[in-house]
Amino acid sequence: MFVRQHFLPSALRRGPHRIGVGLALLAVCFWTSAFAAQVPLPRPRPAEAPARDVAKDEAAGPEQGVQQAEAPKPPEPSACRLALTEAVAIAPSIPPIHAEHGCGGDDLVRLEAVVVSPSQRVALKPPAILRCTMATAIANWVRDDAAPLATKLGSVLSEIDNYDSYECRGRNRIVGAKLSEHGLANALDVRGLKLANGTMLSLTDRHLARETREAVLTSVCTRFMTVLGPGSDWYHEEHIHLDLAERRNNYKICQWGVYDPLPEIAPLMPEDRPAEAPPRPATVETADKTAAPQSASEEPPAEDTDKPAAADSAKSKSKTRSSRKPQ
């Protein structure tokens, strides 16, 4: 009896109230060992697998490895992005913009300068945030049209005066208006072209040579879908709006009035009628005035030709004339 008590667990030897606890512990140990026996072990590493770099894995840590595996790949560059190289323009890519009201877009660049030749760059001041397609259109216009125009004027094109590019807003900055092409990074407002000799060609200046303004007008209306300038509305009197808006049947809008300079002093009186001008047609008023003396001269003489009557008639005429006042 002594031997049996010696080999019993201490929980059973301490009393009946300890028996339940001891049995529970034995059950837990039994089920734990049985569950561990059923868990499959990982397969051995194949012999042809490359050797692990244990030091590199320990340095990276488990969390960093998971983040690198889940990081999305950057999108492939578009055909426009591949064509807009540093030989054409200095236009680094920027992240996509997806703002409220549908503003922004993908494939955006910051157009800083247009490369005309290895020794000539035309800077955009300030740099313009544009879609790649719009930046390419601006670069082609500067290289093929604006720069040669400056050469004809005896100088070199150095800067483009950028008035506005990307801006999330409605048309003409009117609250509630349709989204402007500026909000889509698809438009550029240009105020002028600066030459290397310091001359600023302000495109809306009436005193700038008409030939120069018409040359710019022809070039931009050929390349862009929308051109708005003086005469289009009150919002484009001091700059030229250019964009590539998509419309049905590729419909274009070109509204830019090339006006002559206004006179320095407004004329107060109408100018004299030129001598070579054709004669004016007779009006009803002039016809009445010319017919009045003829009717008076053709009036038959009065039947009574006595002198007193004639004197009375003369007196009455003189009174009538004296009573009239100039108006």
State the DSSP H helix or E strand holding residue 126, giving kind and residue range, or none if neither. Answer: strand 120-131
Q: 210-223 and 132-141 are packed helices; what angle lies between their axes, rounded to 10 degrees?
A: 140
Q: Look up residue 258 and give its DSSP letter.
A: -
Structural domain boundaries in the chain? 2-28, 84-255
Q: Measured between alpha carbons, how far is 118 from 60 in angstroms, rounded to an integer? A: 46
Residue 90 CB-half CA count within 13 A: 14
* Cβ–Cβ < 8 Å for 184, 132: no
| Token reading at 49 | 């697998």
Q: Which residues pair with 190 in a beta bridge?
A: 162, 240
Residue 89 CA, chain-centre distance (Å), reads 19
* Cβ–Cβ < 8 Å for 204, 239: yes
Long-range contact pairs involving 173-182 (C-beta distance under 8 Å, separation at least 24): 179/101, 179/102, 179/103, 181/226, 181/243, 181/244, 181/245, 182/243
Place of tokens 């051995």: 44
Q: Measured between alpha carbons, how far is 284 from 286 in angstroms, rounded to an integer? A: 6
Residue 22 CA, chain-centre distance (Å), reads 82
Which pLDDT belongs to residue 273?
82
Residue 86 CA, chain-centre distance (Å), reads 24
| Token reading at 288 | 């009445």
* Closest C-alpha to 206, from 261, 133, 135: 261
Longest dimension (CA), the chain: 189
Which pLDDT belongs to residue 29?
64
Place of tokens 């390419």: 136
Q: Measured between alpha carbons, how far is 231 from 167 in angstroms, rounded to an integer? A: 24
Each of the 327 residues of the chain gets a pLDDT tens digit; together they read 444 444 445 544 555 556 666 666 666 666 666 555 565 667 777 777 777 666 666 666 555 555 555 667 777 899 999 999 999 999 999 999 999 889 999 999 999 999 999 999 999 999 999 999 999 999 999 999 999 999 999 999 999 999 999 999 999 888 888 999 999 999 999 999 999 999 999 999 999 999 999 999 999 999 999 999 999 988 999 999 999 999 999 999 999 999 999 888 776 777 788 888 888 887 655 555 555 444 444 444 444 444 444 444 444 444 444 444 334
Q: Which residues pair with 192 in a beta bridge?
A: 161, 202
| Token reading at 75 | 């999108």
| Token reading at 163 | 């008035």
Q: Measured between alpha carbons, how far is 132 from 81 in angstroms, rounded to an integer? A: 6
Burial class (CB in 10 A: 0-12, 13-18, 19+), 247: exposed
